[in-house]
Amino acid sequence: MRPAALLCAHSLRVLRRERVIRAIFWLVVASALAAAALGWAEAETRGLIHTRLAGVLLSKPSTNVVPGQHVPGPSLWLLRDLAPCLALSGAFAAIMIGHRCLESDRRAGLLPLIGVRMQDEFDYAAAKVAALGAAMAVLVGVVGVIGAAALLALPLPRPTPEEWARFVVFLVLGWAYLMTFATLSLAITATNPNPLLALSGACVIWFATTLLLPVLGGDCPLPVTTDTTFFARAPLTGPVGSAHWLAPIARPFALGDAFAHLARELLGEGSGRCRAPEVPPMVMLLIAPALAIAAAVRNCLRLEMC
């Protein structure tokens, strides 16, 4: 078995044993269950309203019943709350997992031992990135299972194969989004032995790219965490309005805005979006994890093992 595979398996075992990681995992599961419950509640409410309203309107011969959004149909958009689940609790879990993936070896005093026994320095970096990729796949897979179970349990027509494919693409993009912050946290931890500063740096970057820059670069406050239909025509005022000149600078780095845009397009809720990012969202979600992985590999190669 290659050294990189052994180190990857070791990292996954260590992460699985840590109580903090288990607690964060169940936090993500609870968030996904809450998102599915919100979709279920909305489907039930819309179905109840439609049933009662249709009965009243059909009892009047002179009234024309026009089909609308409340008519039962494809229900993939009812899982739109999974996007904030991944962007908030999922990203927090990714940052913590990326930090503990390296910090656990440092605190246990394993770095000198690994450095002596390791022949290729690249093996350690590859093992850590692979372990994070597997951990993020588990997180996204659990969220996907919960979302799929909700779709099958909802009292609405079953999703079509095309909708299932869009849901899978959404999960893949969610994995890329989480992988960005997990490897970024790993890169910062490799260069900063202070756990508090390492976690703070990763959280600041997450806050900027997910919440702050989308506000400065778009017309919709907090596009990742709120429904933007209400804000679609609201002008920017106050501090955000005065910082509107920062929009051309902020938009290319608003990773949360790109993820939110793609999530709405894939889950069938693109009509509530105010403005598409100037940089193609798919390009941003391909470049961001690639840069984060490159930074993680580079910093792990420069890590002092002795």
Tokens of 86: 């991944």
Looking at residue 281, its pLDDT comes to 85
Q: Could you tell me if residue 184 is inside a domain?
A: yes
Q: What is the pLDDT of residue 302?
A: 84
Q: What is the pLDDT of residue 279?
A: 73
51-to-48, 261, 289 alpha-carbon distances in Å: 5, 32, 46
- Residue 163 inside a domain? The answer is yes
Per residue in 41-87, pLDDT tens?
777 776 666 666 666 666 666 656 555 444 445 578 788 889 999 99
pLDDT score of 248: 67
Q: Which residues does 134 contact at the CB level (< 8 Å), separation at least 6? A: 8, 12
Structural domain contains residue 179:
yes
Question: In angstroms, rounded to a whole number, what is the distance separating the alpha carbons of residues 246 and 227?
Answer: 23
Within a domain: 130: yes
Positions in the chain short of pLDDT 50: 68-72, 219-223, 225-243, 271-273
Alpha helices, H only, 59-159: 82-85, 91-107, 111-117, 121-153
Whole-number pLDDT of residue 58: 60
Asked if residues 176 and 287 have their Cβ atoms less than 8 Å apart, the reply is no
Confirm whether 306 is domain-assigned.
Answer: no
So what's the pLDDT on residue 119?
64
Residue 236 within any structural domain of the chain: yes
Residue 134, domain member (yes or no): yes
DSSP-assigned states of every residue in 242-302: HTGGGHHHHGGG-HHHHHHHHHHHHTT-GGG-S---SS-HHHHHHHHHHHHHHHHHHHHHT
Domain with 179 in it? 3-301
- The residue among 69, 36, 66, 214 whose CA lies nearest residue 142 is 36
Q: Using one digit for the tens of pLDDT, what is the confidence trace for 235-276?
A: 444 444 444 566 667 777 788 888 988 888 888 765 444 555
Q: Within a domain: residue 171?
A: yes
Give how many domains the chain has, as a whole number. Answer: 1
